[in-house]
Structure 1
Amino acid sequence: MRIPVRWSAPRRCAPVAALAACLFAAGTAAAQAPSAPPALPADGVAAAACPAILQHTFPRLQDEKPQSLCQYAGKVVLVVNTASFCGFTPQYKGLEALDSKYRSRGLVVLGFPSNDFSQESGSNKEIADFCESTFGVKFPMFAKSSVRGANANPLFKQLALASGTTPKWNFYKYLIGRDGKVVQAWSSMTAPDESAFVKVIESQLAAGS
């Protein structure tokens, strides 16, 4: 008895030459495809464009969300350590006036509350509320941290190294130029509206603008 055999059509195989041509075309297309652009950090500034002194992230004062300082690359940056219960606390008003007047020209004031001199005991929210309600502060401020000694935050460690001086009291001031280099440091005695101080800021704003 003959057993029937099920027959199926053979699969069609591509000719060797056609297959080789296909593989070559695919490889050529892959080689010619543009590479993906380098990923940018959340603030949209490439690390290479951000000077080392600004390559830090700190929690914001008002909501404690992380914020990169790289967004201030290319600006003239005035960094100040602040406190709510100090004889120099009224300088908040002058600092806000500076930031408001020169913001469009590229200045930004950055405030860093600190209890290093035992004059900033409040919580971040309490500090934020005080600054806004008492002096109308709108310039960026960051969560309370140490600004001197072994526990200083990394920005103030770099500022001390670059300027050769650490904050001796609240409202010490450091100016960073558009190129990311520390220009000068001033003591708490220097008022934000002092003419010599303002002239240095204006000269830095004019440079590279």
Structure 2
Amino acid sequence: MTIYDIDVTLENGESYSLEKYKGHPLVIVNTATKCGLSGQFDELQKLYDTYHEQGLEVLGFPSDQFKQELSNGADAAEACRLSYGVTFPMHELVKLNGSEAHPLFQLLTSETKGVLGSKVKWNFTKFLVDGEGHVVKRFAPTASPTQMKEDIEKLL
């Protein structure tokens, strides 16, 4: 299985295959609007604004697995847009860890290890995926999205 075999659902309920992003580097991030790290939305948006025309996609996946998110993906996405000016795609709420983890996060965490092994440690864990669908690097929740610039530029 590759990332392109996985379907995801936008906050409005529309499902699509990640194959749509074949050939594009991706930043995939689990988000939470009530998290102390939510200031990273601004930095993620800046990455998106800076590199989107060159092919970068940023995909946000809200999760309440750490009890810091609103009740559904639509509310979370609206809060991101209103509070942080987010224009990159936001998706429905997903589980990150355990037997109910979304297949996307099962794949991402199986290909890159973090402090807690394959589990997602906290909100705003960021995964960088190349245009071939390979997970290139995992960034810790506390890592600023701006620390990803050099790695992103290598993939563009």
Judge same fold: TM > 0.5, yes or no. yes
Note the 1:117-128 alignment, pairs <5 A: 117-128=66-77
* Deviation string, structure 1 residues 99-156 (Cα, Å, up to 9, x no partner): 1110111110111000110101322221121011111111111100101121110010
TM norm structure 2: 0.92
- Equivalent position to 2:2, from 44, 52, 60: 52
What is residue 28 of structure 1 aligned with on the other side?
none
Q: Where do 5+ consecutive residues of structure 1 fail to align?
A: 1-50
- Equivalent position to 2:123, from 170, 176, 180: 170
What is residue 146 of structure 2 aligned with on the other side?
193
- Deviation, 1:180, is 1.2
In 2, the alpha carbon distance for the partners of 1:104 and 1:76 equals: 12
Secondary structure in 1 matching 2:13: coil
Structure 1 vs Structure 2 CA RMSD: 1.3
CA contact 2:3–2:19 (8 Å) conserved in 1: no
* Deviation string, structure 1 residues 41-74 (Cα, Å, up to 9, x no partner): xxxxxxxxxx82122112211x111122111011
What is residue 74 of structure 1 aligned with on the other side?
23
Secondary structure in 1 matching 2:57: strand
In 1, the alpha carbon distance for the partners of 2:110 and 2:74 equals: 31
Letter of the structure 2 residue corresponding to residue 178 of structure 1: G
- Deviation, 1:173, is 0.6
Secondary structure in 2 matching 1:128: helix
Task: Detail structure 1 runs of 4+ shifted over 2 Å in the superposition.
Answer: 121-125
Residue 98 (structure 1) aligned with residue 50 (structure 2):
no
Secondary structure in 2 matching 1:95: helix
In 2, the alpha carbon distance for the partners of 1:54 and 1:64 equals: 19
What is residue 154 of structure 2 aligned with on the other side?
203
Q: Where do 5+ consecutive residues of structure 2 fail to align?
A: none
